[in-house]
Amino acid sequence: MKKIIATALSMTMAMSLAACGGGAASSAAPAASSAPAASQASAPAASDGVITVGFAQVGHESDWRTASTKSAQDVFSAANGYDLKFVDCDNDSAAQLEAVRNFIEQDVDYIIIDPIVSTGWDTVLTECEDAGIPVIVIDRTIDDSDKYVSWVGSDFKIEGLACGEWLKAYAADKGMSEINALVIEGSTGASATIGRTDGFKEIADREGWNIMASQSGDFTEAGGQEVMESYCQSYKGKFNVVICQNDNEAAGAMTAMDNAGITYGVGGDVVLVSFDANKPYVQMVCDGKINANFECNPMAAPTVSEIIQDLEAGKTPEKEIYVPEHWFAAEDNVPSIDVNGETLEVIHATQDVVDARPY
């Protein structure tokens, strides 16, 4: 259905959005955009009241990605009045451009893109614009074009800065006299990688820390393990911090350090830090295997649905909407950190905290 929404459909969607959004909102403030109010009328659902949405997803490389995909499939369901055309682009930028062009061919109502890389987008976004199909970007950013309606996601640089500020406070409390850090980056060219790398490096440079190496593990467990194996060979006994830019890389790094006889986490040889904070990995923080974990919230889809409803109602959504996120630590020695002039809480990851995690 192009640009027509039945009253009953918006009512059904507002109700189901409240249910879908509940999980994320239980641990976090809701995102900025406002949900359409449920209509008081009780008209029956229109049989053609379907909004077709094409979603060009990055791939299936991580637990975070699985949560993001599930969120989209839950929200853009037939029961909620959507026809979701989902394409897993398997981390292939050319395949992602092709997926978007196929959505144009199919004349979908809306296109959602989670851009694998942040550049190379202007031509295909111009094609979307020419076809009159609004584009909504989620998670990673597009940095060389503004031909999209809205972006919903995280501030990756803030995540990297938070990681650095936490490490500074943690090291001071533990009396660590020097920081010799190894970084396992995410996929090259992804804005998530760029922001986390830049943020951490900014603090490292300011504090005079030694970043011994910084290589991509491609956001996968296998990649994290491979990079950490080579780090163990080259730097065993010389490093005391490992920064993994996502949870799956941290899992791989743990395997490599186990095999190399290097201990990590609370009381270990190495301080281990991760990003994403998927529930199984917040459990590992609670269990003391990961020292700190910086959340990246994958639940953009409910907000995207609100944006689509706003567009259907003729409203102009916000251009940028940040999802709320939190920081978790295994110990309670750093209760808060100052990031960019703002004081942010560091949550001590108790079992109750883990049990309350929505994903």
Contact call for residues 115 and 165 (beta carbons, < 8 A): no
Yes or no: say if 296 and 159 are a contact pair by the CB < 8 Å rule.
yes
Which of 1-9, 57-65, 103-111, 328-336 is the region at the interface with ligand GYE (rule: CB under 6 A)?
57-65
Could you count the other beta carbons within 10 Å of the beta carbon of residue 146?
11
Residues 6+ apart with CB under 8 A from 208: none
* Beta carbon of residue 234, minimum distance to ligand GYE (angstroms, whole number): 25
Q: Which is nearer to ligand GYE, 86 or 235 (CB)?
A: 86
Helix H segments across 143-211? 156-174, 191-207
CA 153 vs. chain centroid, Å, equals: 7
Q: How far is the CB of 275 from ligand GYE (least distance, A)?
A: 6
Contact 61, 81 (CB under 8 A): no
CB of 208 vs ligand GYE, minimal distance in Å: 28
- Output the smallest distance, CB 278 to ligand GYE, in A: 8
Cβ 318 vs Cβ 150: under 8 Å = yes
User: Judged by CB under 6 A, which of 276, 310, 312, 325 binds ligand GYE?
Assistant: 276
Q: Which of 209, 275, 294, 327 binds ligand GYE (CB under 6 A)?
A: 275
CA distance 108 to 1: 9
Using the contact rule CB under 6 A, the part of the chain among 61-69, 104-112, 233-241, 312-320 near ligand GYE is: 61-69
Interface characters, 298-337, with ligand GYE (x: CB under 6 A): ----------------------------------------
C-beta of 276 vs 306, nearer to ligand GYE:
276
Sheet containing strand 135-138, strands side by side: 82-88, 51-57, 110-113, 135-138, 150-153, 320-322
Q: Which of 24, 36, 61, 167 binds ligand GYE (CB under 6 A)?
A: 61
H/E element holding 183? Answer: strand 180-185
Tell me which residue has tokens 């689509």. 308
> Judged by CB under 6 A, which of 76, 82, 219, 264 binds ligand GYE?
219
Closest approach of ligand GYE to the CB of residue 315, in Å: 28
Quick one: DSSP state of residue 356?
A: T
> Residue 139, interface with ligand GYE (CB under 6 A)?
yes
Instruction: List the structure tokens of 177.
Output: 């006299």
Report in angstroms how near the CB of residue 318 gets to ligand GYE at its nearest.
20
We find the least distance from the C-beta atom of residue 137 to ligand GYE, in angstroms, to be 12
Q: Residue 188: how many CB atoms within 10 A of its CB?
A: 11
72-131 binders of ligand GYE (CB under 6 A): none
Q: How many CB atoms lie within 10 A of CB 55?
A: 26
Rg (CA), the chain: 21
Smallest gap from residue 8 Cβ to ligand GYE (A)? 36
DSSP state of 144: S
Among 72, 135, 182, 192, binds ligand GYE (CB under 6 A): 192
Of residues 296 and 329, the one with the C-beta less far from ligand GYE: 296
Binding site for ligand GYE (CB under 6 A): 61-62, 64-65, 139-140, 190, 192, 219, 246, 275-276, 296
